[in-house]
Amino acid sequence: MKKARAVTSIAFLVILFLQGKQAKEGSDDSRALIHGKEDALEVHCSRERSRVAWKIIEDYLTPFVEQAHYQIPIKCRLHHDNDIFRDQEEHKVHVDTNEWQCSYCKKSFYAEKFLDQHFDSRHYDLLNVNGSKCLADLCGALHCDHVTNTKLRKTKCNPAAVARNRHYCESLADNCFPINQGPSASRLHEFFLHQFCDAHTCSGKLKPFSRGGKKETSVLYLATAILTLMLLPIFYVIVFLHQREMRMRGQVLKRISPIGRKAKPS
């Protein structure tokens, strides 16, 4: 009897020990999860400026890269895999003017900024922090302020900042389009210098994106096209009615003309 009680006591103590160990491990896992969440939320990268930088790449560089059939290397900071927000941005669905949808969980929001907040709070774990870099860091080289008009035009030019941005811009050209990688890379290297880097100057004569980029259909052009299509049938109807009236007049004159000649005295 005493032996059975001893065995039961030992078994009970073992169970308590194992439960305590599991509770400690669960607590450690919980702390690790919270720590990971805090780390994800403390990513020091502007989503808005990263979006502007990506828009510049898409509009003023990608069309020329595709035309040259060139593949940007993964080590290049301009590569889409080097944007920590790229996956989230590609999971945005602009349904309507006041409706944005998260394609991860299908939730809808009234504005894009609320969808951004949703990504930060609910889908922070999908940020590829380890393998990606902040695309907003390229804004100095890519003229983000020129696109967003965040700087006043009368602001005095800072030669040191201009030189720093130009140097960084040239390093992007060297890393993304090495001149020893063939004719396409060499041409794109020169194009990148002309399109982005040469405009880093205090002279004010050169402007970024001088070669233009992706052509977007403007609202004015679209309205003009629709108006033309609407007025074109009316124009043809007017021309048709005018020609028919002229033919009818001609036929009437032909009928009246002989009678008029007979009525004249010889």
Task: Please give the pLDDT value at position 251.
Answer: 74
Report helix, strand or coil for 191: helix
Could you tell me if 126 and 104 are in contact, meaning their C-beta atoms sit under 8 angstroms apart? yes
Task: Please give the pLDDT value at position 17.
Answer: 54
Instruction: Kindly give the pairing relationship between strand 92-96 and strand 108-109.
Output: unpaired
Task: Please give the pLDDT value at position 38.
Answer: 45
d(CA 12, CA 5): 10
d(CA 79, CA 73): 7
10 Å Cβ neighbour count for 118? 18
Q: Which two tokens stand for residue 169?
A: 């811009």
**Given phi > 0 = left and psi -120 to 50 = alpha, else beta, which region is 201?**
beta
Those residues with Cβ within 8 angstroms of residue 150's Cβ, 6 or more apart along the chain or in another chain: 144
One digit per residue, pLDDT tens: the chain, 266 residues? 555 555 556 555 555 554 554 444 333 333 333 344 444 446 789 999 999 999 999 999 999 999 999 999 999 999 999 999 999 999 999 999 999 999 999 999 999 999 999 999 999 888 877 767 899 999 999 999 999 886 555 678 899 999 999 999 999 999 999 999 999 999 999 999 999 999 999 987 788 998 876 655 445 556 677 777 777 788 778 877 878 788 777 777 777 765 545 555 54
Task: Please give the pLDDT value at position 149.
Answer: 82
d(CA 177, CA 174): 6
Q: Which two tokens stand for residue 181?
A: 């990688």
Task: Please give the pLDDT value at position 221.
Answer: 58
**Strand-pair partners of 99:** 96
